[in-house]
Structure 1
Amino acid sequence: MGRTMIGEDIALTLKIVVAGGFGAGKSTLIGSVSEIRPLHSEETLSESEAGSGPHPSDTGGVERKTSTTVAMDFGRITVHAGLSLHLFGTPGQDRFRFLWEELCEGALAAVVLADTRRLEDCFAAVDHFERRRIPFVVAVNRFPGAPDHTEHDVAQALDLDGGTPVVLCDARDRASGKEVLIRTVEYAGRMHTARLLAAVG
């Protein structure tokens, strides 16, 4: 989190982490909303990784994916005058999980992108943020042909704590992605305020 002076106004910058399973749409979401050219660190998938098979190379539901993030994605969006978000996308494959801790340092909140064809891929991210008490929103990326589930169904399947928001989105659409980020900031604000009041109450 950072603050800079612009004239008489204070510009606030918040860090948001975008996580989720392999091929869930993290790079797509950041790319669709970022007002700068997003930074991607990707490598081409090997033939075994691009095919189907057990984890970590299983790509069921994302057969056409030919590259994967190996360090992070980065983008920036101005939500409104005086408030901008720096977006950090985590690598999706298990072998890059060691990078999550550093990427989450100083984060206000997180978005967990979910693909209903592979909901189990969300468990690692959900567990990571719950254990570190980082507020997060689950954003269900609606892929063509994917099973259609309600927000309540997804919350139950992921065994989310009560009150954790679940929203439907299209990661390719800027307006949809921006709405997810606004919901995330609003939820994080409520959570941090509640914790502060509980600490001093």
Structure 2
Amino acid sequence: MVSEACADRYLPETVQQPVKILVVGALGVGKTTLVGSVSEIRPLRTEETMTEAGAGVDRLAGLPDKNTTTVAMDFGRVTLNDRVVLYLFGAPGQRRFWNMWEGLAEGAVGVLVLVDTRRLEDSFEVLDQLELRADTPFAVAVNHFPDTHPHGEEELRRALDLLPTTPVVDCDARDRTSSLDALIALVEHATEDLAAREAAS
């Protein structure tokens, strides 16, 4: 007999499709927050206190209260329905940890890219990295902070040089429903992308 406290650790027997999702973005855009807000299990976090070792290396402009950072990955799980479960892997945002992305991305059906429009230029290099993985579809989620100014979708597409087919969604990483909607948009996009590739082959 499984206790109620442990029940959320186990998947329903009906689950047939595990889906791996990679969550990426620049330092401080809300990746750890998003994984934590949607995960139905206690998320695995590898946050450490930021030290002087990152001074002059990590871009902290616009992040006056940032004092911890992910150094390996975040991990969470969310069951979408009785058949599909998402496994979320949040990648570190600093360039010095990008060598981990290749391993974390292995087997992922898609990538959710979190961006902060207050520091949009920090996302350019992240998107450049994804261009090297042209076989992995991605969606962009604009995480809204209290002092975020609104931007139109077409304005963001131009600024980020996105294809018309790349989904762009609004998101509040603190809110489970909002974060889940962003993940669903990515899964739907990845499913359509896979179907198009199979039809073309």
- TM-score, normalised to structure 2, is 0.89
List runs of 5+ in structure 2 lacking aligned partners.
1-10
Identical-residue share of aligned pairs (%): 51
d(CA) in 2 for partners of 1:78 and 1:5?
9
d(CA) in 1 for partners of 2:188 and 2:47?
31
Does the residue aligned with 2:128 lie in a helix, a strand or coil?
A: helix
Computed over aligned residues only, the root mean square deviation of the Cα atoms, in angstroms, reads: 1.7
d(CA) in 2 for partners of 1:58 and 1:67?
13
Does the residue aligned with 1:161 lie in a helix, a strand or coil?
A: coil
What is the number of residues matched between the two proteins? 190
- Whichever structure has more strand as a proportion of its residues is 1
Deviation of the 1:11 alpha carbon: 1.8
Deviation of the 1:5 alpha carbon: 9.4
Partner of 1:40: 45
List runs of 5+ in structure 1 lacking aligned partners.
none
Partner of 2:126: 125
Match of 2:36 among 27, 31, 39: 31
Does the residue aligned with 2:147 lie in a helix, a strand or coil?
A: coil
Partner of 1:21: 26
Within-5 A mapping of 1:58-137: 58-132=59-133, 133-137=135-139
Deviation of the 1:10 alpha carbon: 5.1
Deviation of the 1:171 alpha carbon: 0.3
4+ runs deviating over 2 angstroms: 47-50, 127-131
Match of 2:151 among 149, 152, 174: 149
Letter of the 2:25 counterpart: G
Deviation track 1:140-187 (CA, whole Å, cap 9, x = no partner) reads: 000111232122211110101221011011000000000001100000
Deviation of the 1:76 alpha carbon: 0.2
